[in-house]
């Protein structure tokens, strides 16, 4: 696990600025505190920071082929590297290290870019082919490891694991990308390929970028998830195969030469991962959980039950930072751009505490997106009769009725029945292909237009963020609504919010997080399962409960999806009230885009306790604090 960065001049002949390359690399030392590496070849230079996990003594990068003509810097892990190494050795390749990184070099020599299809892992790498004077940048299938890039005909190409690498270059402007902000308000993250910085882009998951002299970067998709043809399996057969495949996915992620543990939330997904780890290790699994002092927001009692069942070496923390504002600022600095998912804060603290004990942690990310864990997957199907009602009922009568209902402050917003009714009103007015926006958006399209200044209300009047999700829905290689929705969530919410959140919060403290539910072979297998193995009636994630329910304490096996609720609404009425109001009402970055009186109205309504605007204000607040810290040009 590492951080990578690099520079390629426009013609690959003009010498690169070695000092700039070193400064870029220094910006991501938190991702790799163990060592660094540099390579410069005329107009090409690449660098990396290393967090040593496999082949600790001999795996420093860049790593080259036997003749030195192919070199790579790599962030991530190739989990099937041992099998690939045996295959490549049989084909005549000779390895100089025991590192998984080296299979990328020899794999490219043997199969070219098609080597990507053979890697089961999480990765972002830069590969330099000296003979062809060709740079290949690539990201893994799911988008677990990040990669940012910037290109200008006069300056060439810059890339890095985090945007801060690129921002180091003095000629890269810090300007807000308007479309990124528009989408962020609805989604809570910036969808790729955009970033909040105009001109800096994310390389999307499962894509590659090729750069050659005097040509613009060429970006191509190298893999796409297929949901067809469906597998023909009985209930018994699918349960048996699930047990084998997920156990193997966990086993592949236990390979490490450093201390290893697991994040344990108390939900079904992370509990199953811990159970499978305990079955495959001789020493007690080290587990780590975090909760809140407010019992209604905390799940630590469930995590404790799993820890007791498997006799783990359990570490439990309460999120009670001495300075909450400093934590918010640290999270923004770790992300480089606003990420309004409040769960980033406790994950940041959990990672900090975890690093005191282990370097690698397994987690339950991806269980919901592979086997349909969110209630909206079931509700979208069950509500079809409601959608067929006349529009005056679904788009007028219901919204008017629920609009007068107060939001109970004593219930977390994610679990409030009132919130559910209000989502139902929004559901009717939103593109049916955009399940995520229907059920989980912060600001509706109309709410954003009411917030903008005249200039931006006119600019965005006909740009609906729901279309971002709907486009992904239409691109899916799938035949039914559920599979198309799962695909859309894979390439938007998972790749844009959940995985960046895990990567930035953990790597801010040099912790590598591995997600067995996002194992490439598990994801491809579950995609081809018929719908009945994922959702049956109102029951979501049917297969996980059928295959692994016996490994869970009864109280956890019976639980529905809860999610990790964070009391932002309470904070904004309490300890953060004065600090947040100042940054929301007296901030030139916000005034550039939004009407101050509209923000003031949200604050007043929230303070009254009648309407919980916590997450909407949180999104605006993080954008405002980001603007203060990164100072984009207005």
**pLDDT band at residue 602 using 50, 70 and 90 as cut-offs:** very high
- The set of residues, in sequence order, having a beta carbon less than 8 Å from that of 65 and lying 6+ positions away, is 71, 105, 106, 109
pLDDT at residue 558, rounded to an integer: 76
Q: How far is CA 613 from CA 326, 376, 428, 625, in A?
A: 22, 22, 21, 18
Residues of the chain with CATH 3.60.20.10: 2-221
Interval 220-267: pLDDT, tens: 999 999 999 999 999 999 999 999 999 999 999 999 999 999 999 989
Tokens at 318, concatenated: 């309460």
pLDDT at residue 399, rounded to an integer: 57
Check whether 386 has a pLDDT greater than 60.
yes
Mean pLDDT score, 61-76:
96
pLDDT at residue 201, rounded to an integer: 98
Could you give the angle at the alpha carbon of 89 between the alpha carbons of 84 and 92, nearest 5°?
135
**pLDDT band at residue 61 using 50, 70 and 90 as cut-offs:** very high
Mean pLDDT score, 10-19:
95
User: What is the bridge-based pairing of β-strands 35-41 and 44-50?
Assistant: antiparallel
Interval 21-49: pLDDT, tens: 999 999 999 999 999 999 999 999 999 99
Give the largest Cα separation in the chain, rounded. 73
d(CA 628, CA 586): 11
Residues of the chain with CATH 3.40.50.620: 235-372+494-557
Check whether 627 has a pLDDT greater than 80.
yes
Per the document, the length of the chain is: 634
**pLDDT band at residue 406 using 50, 70 and 90 as cut-offs:** low
Interval 179-189: pLDDT, tens: 999 999 999 99
Class of the CATH-defined domain 2-221: alpha beta
235-372+494-557 CATH choice from 3.40.50.620, 3.40.50.970, 1.10.220.110, 3.20.20.70:
3.40.50.620
Collapsed DSSP state (helix, strand, coil) of residue 517: helix
> How remote is the C-alpha of 409 from its chain's centroid?
29
d(CA 482, CA 485): 5
- The set of residues, in sequence order, having a beta carbon less than 8 Å from that of 437 and lying 6+ positions away, is 186, 187, 430, 431, 465, 466, 469
Interval 504-537: pLDDT, tens: 999 999 999 999 999 999 999 999 999 999 999 8
**What is the number of other CB atoms lying within 10 angstroms of the CB of residue 363?**
24
> How remote is the C-alpha of 269 from its chain's centroid?
17
Check whether 191 has a pLDDT greater than 90.
yes
Check whether 205 has a pLDDT greater than 70.
yes
Q: Which residues are catalytic?
A: 2
pLDDT at residue 412, rounded to an integer: 55
Check whether 410 has a pLDDT greater than 80.
no
Check whether 165 has a pLDDT greater than 60.
yes
Check whether 403 has a pLDDT greater than 70.
no
Mean pLDDT of the chain: 92
Provide the whole-model pTM. 0.94
What is the Rg, in whole angstroms, of the alpha carbon atoms belonging to the chain? 24
């Amino acid at each position: 696990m590492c951080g990578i960065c690099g520079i390629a001049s426009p013609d690959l002949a003009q010498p690169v600025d070695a000092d700039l390359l070193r400064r870029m690399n220094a910006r991501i030392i938190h991702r790799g505190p163990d060592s660094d590496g540099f390579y410069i070849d005329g107009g090409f230079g690449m660098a990396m920071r290393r967090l040593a996990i496999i082949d600790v003594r001999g795996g420093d990068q860049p790593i080259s082929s036997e003749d030195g003509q192919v070199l790579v810097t790599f962030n991530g892990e190739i989990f099937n590297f041992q099998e690939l190494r045996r295959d490549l050795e049989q084909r005549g390749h000779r390895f100089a290290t025991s590192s998984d990184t080296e299979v990328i070099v020899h794999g490219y020599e043997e199969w070219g870019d098609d080597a990507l299809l053979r890697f089961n892992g999480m990765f972002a790498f830069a590969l330099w082919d000296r003979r062809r004077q060709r740079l290949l940048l690539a990201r893994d299938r799911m988008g677990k490891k990040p990669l940012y890039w910037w290109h200008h005909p006069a300056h060439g190409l810059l890339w890095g694991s985090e945007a801060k690498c690129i921002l180091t270059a003095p000629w890269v402007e810090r300007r807000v990308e308007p479309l990124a902000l528009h989408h962020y308000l609805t989604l809570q993250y910036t969808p790729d390929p955009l970033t909040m910085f105009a001109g800096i882009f994310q390389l999307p998951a499962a894509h590659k970028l090729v750069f050659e002299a005097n040509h613009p970067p060429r970006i191509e998709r190298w893999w796409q998830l297929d949901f067809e043809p469906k597998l023909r399996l009985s209930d018994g057969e699918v349960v048996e195969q699930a047990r084998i495949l997920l156990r193997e996915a966990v086993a592949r992620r236990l390979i490490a030469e450093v201390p290893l543990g697991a994040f344990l939330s108390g939900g079904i997904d992370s509990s199953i991962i811990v159970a499978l780890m305990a079955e495959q290790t001789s020493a007690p699994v080290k587990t780590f959980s975090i909760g809140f002092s407010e019992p209604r927001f905390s799940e630590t009692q469930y995590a404790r039950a799993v820890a007791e069942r498997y006799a783990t070496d359990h570490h439990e923390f309460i999120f009670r930072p001495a300075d909450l504002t400093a934590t918010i600022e640290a999270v923004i600095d770790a992300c480089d751009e606003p990420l309004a998912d409040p769960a980033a804060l406790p994950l940041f603290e959990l990672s900090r505490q975890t690093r005191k004990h282990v370097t690698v942690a397994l987690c339950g990310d991806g269980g919901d997106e592979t086997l349909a864990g969110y209630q909206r997957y079931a509700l979208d199907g069950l509500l079809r009769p409601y959608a067929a009602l006349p529009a005056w009922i679904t788009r007028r009568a219901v919204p008017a009725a629920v609009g007068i209902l107060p939001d109970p402050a004593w219930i977390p917003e994610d679990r409030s029945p009132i919130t559910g009714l209000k989502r139902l009103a929004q559901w009717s007015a939103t593109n049916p292909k955009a399940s995520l926006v229907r059920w989980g958006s912060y600001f509706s399209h109309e709410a954003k237009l009411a917030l903008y200044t005249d200039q931006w209300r006119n600019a965005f009047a006909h740009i609906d963020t729901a279309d971002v999700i709907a486009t992904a829905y239409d691109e899916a290689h799938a035949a039914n609504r559920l599979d198309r929705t799962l695909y859309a969530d894979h390439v938007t919410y998972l790749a844009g919010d959940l995985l960046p959140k895990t990567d930035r919060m953990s790597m801010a403290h040099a912790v590598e997080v591995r997600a067995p539910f996002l194992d490439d072979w598990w994801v491809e297998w579950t995609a081809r399962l018929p719908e009945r193995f994922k959702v049956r009636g109102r029951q979501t994630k049917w297969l996980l409960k059928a295959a692994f329910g016996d490994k869970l304490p009864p109280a956890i096996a019976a639980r529905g999806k809860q999610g990790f609720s964070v009391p932002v609404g309470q904070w904004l009425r309490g300890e953060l009230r004065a600090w947040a109001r100042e940054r929301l009402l007296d901030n030139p970055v916000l005034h550039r885009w939004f009407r101050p009186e509209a923000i003031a109205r949200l604050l007043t309504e929230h303070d009254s306790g009648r309407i919980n605007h916590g997450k909407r204000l949180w999104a605006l607040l993080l954008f405002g604090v980001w603007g203060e810290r990164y100072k984009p040009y207005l």
